[in-house]
C-alpha cells in the first residue's frame, strides 16, 4: 500500500479514537451492484421482517439521505414492483411527508419506519432496522425493475432533513462507540447488459473500505458541508437541480489531450459526485471548448438525461485529466460511448443552462477510480470527506470469468497430477512383474547402444569367433557382485576399432592378469571343455604374421583333441575397418571344425556359460593384441561336430551362422582353407 493509503488508514483510526470512543472491530461488507436500462447502479434490498420478505431493486443516489420505495397507490411509478405495507409486520407509521428532487425527476410520499437489508455477495443481508423510508405515491424516478432509491447522502445541506433519518445516522445510533461510517465504491462502467445481470455494476465495500482495492497516492477532499450542519445553501451552488448537495468537493481544474490538440482549465471549481447519473457534466462553455478540439464532433439538437450531448467519431483518441491535487486520467475507453449503428457520443455532456458553472462527476468518472466516502458523527470533529485513488485492477472488480477460469484451471491441474501419479504407480508395478530375462535383454541392448553397436566378424568358413561385452547381469552366471555403473571406466585399446569406447569393471582387474579376459572356460552343450587360448594379431590385419598357441580339448568320452595354430596365408586381402557388415562366403568350409552356432535353432551358445578368471600369462609384449570392449578377443575353438553336420558343411548345405550385433569378432581363422576367395563387404 502507498504512503498516502497508510495516512488514510491512520486518519480513520484517529477519527474513531477521538472523543473517548473505543471502537469495536469492523469488517468489510461487499454489496454487489447491477446496471439498469437507464444506466443507474442498483442494489437488491429486502424490506420487512415478516416471513414473506418483500424484495426490490433500488438505485443508488448519493445526494439525498432518504431511502424511498414505490407504494401500491403510486399510479405514476411505471408499474414497478411496489411495497405493500399491509403485508409487513415490522412497519411503523411515521408522521410527515417529503418531496425529494433528483435532477429532472422527483419522489413524493409519506414516511414510514421499516426494517431493511442490503443483499451481500454471499447471499445474506446486511441489516439496517428502523430505517426512515418515503413510500412514494407519485414519482417519475422509477422505471423497469427499479422500485426505489438507496439514499447515500447525509441530509446535511440545509434544514431539509435529519441526519438520523439516513442509513449512516441509524448505524451510528446502533454503534455508539463509532465516530464515523465509511465505504468505498468500486463501480464498473455504466453499461447495460440485461435486467437479470447481477454484479455487472461492480460493488460497494460497505462499512469499511477495501484498502487492497486501490494503489498509488490517495487524494482526499473534505465535503463542503458536514453532517448535522445548519443551512449551507450559500456555500454550495444550487445549479445541480438536487435537493441536497451533500458530496460537493473542490476540483483544481481539468486538462485534455485530443489527438494533437490540448485544452485545459486550471480554475478551481466545485464538483459534485453522483452515481445516479451515468455521464459527466461540464459547464456549457467548457464542454464546447473540449469538443472543439475533436475533429468531426457535432452537438446534438436534443438534450439527453438533462445534458447537452456531442456525437464524435468512434475512433476518437482522447484523455481528460481531473485535478485533485494530482491528475486522475480517463481515456477513450470511458469517454467514447458506442451508441450503436456505427455512431458514438461523448461521456462528457454540457449543462443546458449556460449560467451553470459547476461540474457533476457521475458514474463514468466514479467507475474509473476507487472512491472512498467518510461520514463523521455530528459533533465528533470528523469531517465528511471524499478520497480518490487509482484502482488496483486485480482486485478492484468482481471478475466472474477470472474466478471460473481459476477454478477450472485448478481442477485440470489436480487431474493432471492424479494421472501422473497413476502412471508412475502402474509403471512401477509393471517393472516389478517383469521377468529377469527381459530386464537382462534390455540392459544388453542399452549397453550395445551406448557402445555404438559396432561389430566386425569373418564368416568365411562357417565359423564365428566373438568377444562379448560385459553385461550388468553377468553376476548371476559368474557369482560376482554386479558393479555399479559409476565403477566402470572407458578404454579404447582396440587396434582395429580405436573409436570404440568400452566400459571396464575394476572387479575384473585381478592382480597377475594382464587383461580381464585373458582366460576363459567354455563348456559346450555336448560336454566338451575348451581351455584358455590367446591369439596375437597385427593391427594391419591383412598379409601379416599371425601367431596363435595350440589348444587342447577334452571331449565327453575322454578323447583329447589338439588344434594347431593357424598361419595367415600371404594371399589374404582383408582391409581393416571399424564398420561391421555381414560377408558372403565363397570359400570351401572345412568339415574338421564346428562353429559356435546351433544350426537347428540359429541360437548362439558361445556366450551362455562364461567364467572370468585371472590369467597367469602376460601380454606386455603383445603390441597388436585385439582388445574389444576392454578385453582381449579370445578365439574360442569349437567342439567336435557330428558326422552328419560335417557332411552338410562339405556339401555347402549347412546353414550360415548369424552375426550378433552386441559382439565384436576377432579376425578369421580356419584349418586348411584359403581365405583369398572371400568377398569382403567391409567399408
pTM exceeds cut of 0.75: no
Q: What is the DSSP letter of 120?
A: P
Task: Please name which of 508, 505, 470, 480 lies closest in space to residue 490, comparing C-alpha atoms.
Answer: 505
Q: What is the DSSP letter of 655?
A: P
User: Phi/psi class of residue 216: alpha, beta or left (left: φ > 0; alpha: ψ in -120 to 50)?
Assistant: left
Q: Which H or E run includes 475?
A: helix 475-478
DSSP bridge pairs for 491: 502
Residues 6 or more apart whose Cβ sits within 8 Å of residue 541: 496, 574, 575, 576, 667
Residue ranges of the domains in the chain?
Answer: 3-398, 404-433, 453-683
Distances (CA, A) of 457 to 303, 551, 630: 102, 21, 17
**483 touches 507 (CB < 8 A):** yes
The 3-class SS string of 125-159 reads EEEEEEEEEEEEEEECCCECCEEEEEECCCCCCCC
If one counts every other C-beta atom within 10 angstroms of the C-beta of residue 17, the result is: 12
Answer CATH for 3-398 from 3.40.50.1000, 1.10.3210.10, 3.40.1690.10, 2.40.70.10: 2.40.70.10
Task: Please name which of 669, 496, 500, 502 lies closest in space to residue 577, comparing C-alpha atoms.
Answer: 496
If one counts every other C-beta atom within 10 angstroms of the C-beta of residue 577, the result is: 16
**Mean pLDDT, consecutive 10-residue segments, the chain of 683 residues?**
53 51 77 94 94 93 94 93 94 89 88 96 95 95 92 76 91 96 97 74 97 95 74 50 81 94 94 96 96 94 90 96 97 93 94 92 98 95 96 58 49 65 67 59 57 45 46 44 48 47 46 43 46 44 47 61 57 46 41 41 42 43 43 54 71 59 46 42 39
Amino acid at each position: 500500500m502507498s504512503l498516502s493509503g497508510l495516512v488514510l488508514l491512520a486518519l480513520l483510526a484517529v477519527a474513531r479514537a477521538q472523543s473517548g470512543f473505543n471502537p469495536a472491530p469492523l469488517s468489510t461488507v461487499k454489496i454487489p451492484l447491477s446496471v439498469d436500462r437507464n444506466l443507474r447502479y442498483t442494489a437488491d434490498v429486502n424490506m420487512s421482517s415478516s416471513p414473506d420478505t418483500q424484495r426490490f431493486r433500488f438505485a443508488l443516489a448519493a445526494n439525498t439521505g432518504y431511502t424511498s420505495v414505490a407504494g401500491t397507490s403510486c399510479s405514476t411509478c411505471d408499474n414497478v414492483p411496489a411495497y405493500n405495507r399491509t403485508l409487513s409486520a415490522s412497519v411503523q407509521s411515521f408522521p410527515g411527508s417529503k418531496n425529494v428532487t433528483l435532477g429532472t425527476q422527483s419522489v413524493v410520499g409519506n414516511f414510514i419506519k421499516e426494517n431493511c437489508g442490503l443483499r451481500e455477495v454471499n447471499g445474506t443481508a446486511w441489516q439496517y432496522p428502523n430505517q426512515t423510508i418515503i413510500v412514494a405515491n407519485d414519482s417519475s424516478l422509477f422505471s423497469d425493475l427499479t422500485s426505489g432509491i438507496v439514499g447515500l447522502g447525509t441530509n446535511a445541506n440545509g434544514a431539509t432533513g435529519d441526519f438520523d433519518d439516513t442509513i449512516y445516522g441509524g448505524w451510528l445510533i446502533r454503534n455508539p462507540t463509532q465516530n464515523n461510517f465509511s465505504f468505498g465504491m468500486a463501480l464498473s462502467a455504466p453499461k447495460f447488459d440485461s435486467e437479470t445481470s447481477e454484479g455487472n455494476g461492480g460493488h460497494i465495500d460497505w462499512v469499511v473500505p477495501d484498502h487492497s482495492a486501490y494503489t498509488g497516492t490517495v487524494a482526499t477532499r473534505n465535503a463542503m458541508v458536514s453532517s448535522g450542519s445548519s443551512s449551507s445553501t450559500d456555500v454550495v451552488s444550487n445549479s445541480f437541480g438536487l435537493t441536497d448537495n451533500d458530496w460537493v468537493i473542490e476540483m483544481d481544474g481539468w486538462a485534455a489531450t485530443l489527438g494533437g490538440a490540448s485544452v485545459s482549465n486550471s480554475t478551481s471549481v466545485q464538483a459534485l459526485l453522483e452515481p445516479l447519473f451515468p455521464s459527466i457534466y461540464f459547464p456549457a462553455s467548457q464542454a464546447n471548448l473540449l469538443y472543439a478540439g475533436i475533429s468531426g464532433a457535432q452537438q446534438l439538437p436534443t438534450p439527453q438525461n438533462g445534458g447537452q450531448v456531442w456525437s464524435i467519431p468512434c475512433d476518437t483518441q482522447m484523455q481528460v485529466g481531473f485535478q485533485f491535487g494530482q491528475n486522475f486520467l480517463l481515456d477513450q475507453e470511458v469517454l467514447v460511448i458506442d451508441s450503436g449503428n456505427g455512431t458514438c457520443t461523448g461521456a462528457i455532456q454540457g449543462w443546458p443552462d449556460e449560467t451553470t458553472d459547476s461540474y457533476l462527476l457521475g458514474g463514468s468518472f466514479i467507475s474509473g477510480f476507487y472512491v472512498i466516502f467518510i461520514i463523521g458523527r455530528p459533533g465528533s470533529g470528523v469531517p465528511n470527506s471524499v478520497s480518490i485513488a487509482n484502482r488496483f485492477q486485480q482486485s478492484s472488480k468482481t471478475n466472474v470469468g477470472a474466478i471460473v477460469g481459476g477454478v477450472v484451471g485448478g481442477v485440470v491441474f489436480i487431474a493432471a497430477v492424479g494421472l501422473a501419479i497413476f502412471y508412475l504407480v502402474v509403471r512401477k508395478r509393471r517393472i516389478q512383474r517383469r521377468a529377469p530375462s527381459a530386464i537382462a535383454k534390455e540392459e544388453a541392448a542399452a549397453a550395445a547402444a551406448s557402445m555404438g553397436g559396432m561389430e566386425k566378424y569373418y564368416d568365411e568358413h562357417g565359423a564365428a569367433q566373438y568377444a562379448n561385452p560385459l553385461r550388468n547381469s553377468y553376476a548371476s552366471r559368474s557369482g560376482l557382485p554386479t558393479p555399479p555403473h559409476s565403477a566402470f571406466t572407458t578404454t579404447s585399446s582396440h587396434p582395429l576399432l580405436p573409436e570404440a569406447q568400452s566400459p571396464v569393471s575394476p572387479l575384473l582387474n585381478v592382480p597377475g592378469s594382464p587383461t580381464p579376459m585373458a582366460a576363459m572356460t567354455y563348456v559346450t552343450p555336448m560336454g566338451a571343455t575348451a581351455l584358455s587360448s590367446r591369439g596375437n594379431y597385427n593391427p594391419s590385419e591383412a598379409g601379416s604374421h599371425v601367431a596363435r598357441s595350440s589348444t587342447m580339448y577334452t571331449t565327453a568320452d575322454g578323447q583329447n583333441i589338439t588344434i594347431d595354430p593357424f598361419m595367415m596365408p600371404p594371399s589374404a586381402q582383408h582391409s581393416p575397418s571399424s564398420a561391421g557388415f555381414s560377408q558372403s562366403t565363397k570359400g570351401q568350409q572345412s568339415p574338421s571344425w564346428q562353429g559356435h552356432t546351433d544350426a537347428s535353432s540359429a541360437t548362439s551358445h558361445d556366450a551362455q556359460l562364461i567364467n572370468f578368471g585371472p590369467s597367469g600369462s602376460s601380454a606386455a609384449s603383445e603390441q597388436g593384441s585385439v582388445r574389444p570392449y576392454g578385453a582381449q578377443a579370445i578365439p574360442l575353438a569349437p567342439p567336435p561336430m557330428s558326422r552328419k553336420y560335417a557332411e552338410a558343411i562339405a556339401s555347402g548345405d549347412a546353414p550360415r551362422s548369424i552375426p550378433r550385433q552386441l559382439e565384436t569378432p576377432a579376425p578369421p581363422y580356419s584349418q586348411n582353407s584359403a581365405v583369398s576367395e572371400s568377398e569382403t563387404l567391409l567399408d
